[in-house]
Amino acid sequence: MGALKELLEKRKIIILDSAMGTELQRRHVDISGPLWSAGANIYKPDVVRHIHMDNIDAGADIITTNTFRSQTRTFEKANYHYEGRSFTDSAKAVTTIGVEIAQDAVLIAGEDDVLIAGCIAPIDDCYRPDLVPEDMDVLCTEHFEHIQNLVDGGIDLFLAETMMSVREISAVLNQIHKFDFDYAISLLCKNENELFSGEKLVDAMSIIEKYSPAAVMLNCIHPAQVELILPHLKKLTDRPLGVYANIGNPNAKEGKFERMISPDEYVTFAKKWRDMGVRIIGGCCGTTPMYTAKLSSLKHK
């Protein structure tokens, strides 16, 4: 049994950490593209480490590596060579740094039972399904490279998140399945029937079910959408479910994020998800370690 399945056996409710990108921004770290939050692994590793530590102190059972944008494709877009290395070697180095920062946070916090989830994101813009490469060989090769980098770094499990197209879901699961690690896959949905790409949720789940993930999750949607989607998702899988919603506009203009839902309001939504059978609960864009602290109370009720 892998790390995530063991945790699911031990805990009724598991708390996932809060957002990294918007929290870096709130702490005055530049997260401009194409590197986005991955640049902080290079320029502001202490801030990344403190965000992890703050989430652990707040009660997170799982923290997620700051590797949402540390793939080779990102470094090619940025035309950035870390310490003069090739784009591929830059991606490996910065991904490794992201994992090591998370490991440092767990060590410093003295919480050995906190798991480190290796973040796997869409290889291009997570809100642009039209940019998902049509060539499956390209998709599989690039995802394999990133996944291998996470494994080499020393993660405990995989978290493939903000997955919004059937083609990318297929590629990611095909590559994850080559490694002996537990994994969760988290979907970005347009509504209760469709992924963000407009493709049917039922079609995505028919593929996901073949690969037997440890958990199926929803992320980066408004909390109010979650309770509309969950009943449909529950009809398509009996696997443990997870949710981490956003609390504002993830595409905010001028680099500003407007938080529209308070920690207490978010927990009110989360209690409904828990009552609907959700086992893993965290926060996406806009959430902070304060949200994690509020959510951690769900473990004791």
54-69 tens-digit pLDDT: 999 999 999 999 999 9
- The answer to whether residue 252 scores a pLDDT higher than 60 is no
Cα–Cα distance, 301 to 294 (Å, whole number): 12
Q: How far is CA 275 from CA 72, 80, 278, 301, in A?
A: 41, 46, 7, 11
Q: pLDDT category, 249, cuts 50, 70, 90?
A: confident
Average pLDDT, stretch 121-142?
Answer: 89
Average pLDDT, stretch 232-258?
Answer: 84
- The answer to whether residue 70 scores a pLDDT higher than 80 is yes
- The answer to whether residue 50 scores a pLDDT higher than 80 is yes
Q: Write out the two tokens for 159.
A: 């978290």
- Closest by alpha carbon to 239, among 187, 204, 207, 278? 278
Domains of the chain in sequence order:
3-300 (3.20.20.330)
Give 128's contacts (C-beta < 8 A, 6+ positions apart).
none
pLDDT of residue 289: 98
Q: Write out the two tokens for 172.
A: 């990611």
pLDDT of residue 1: 67
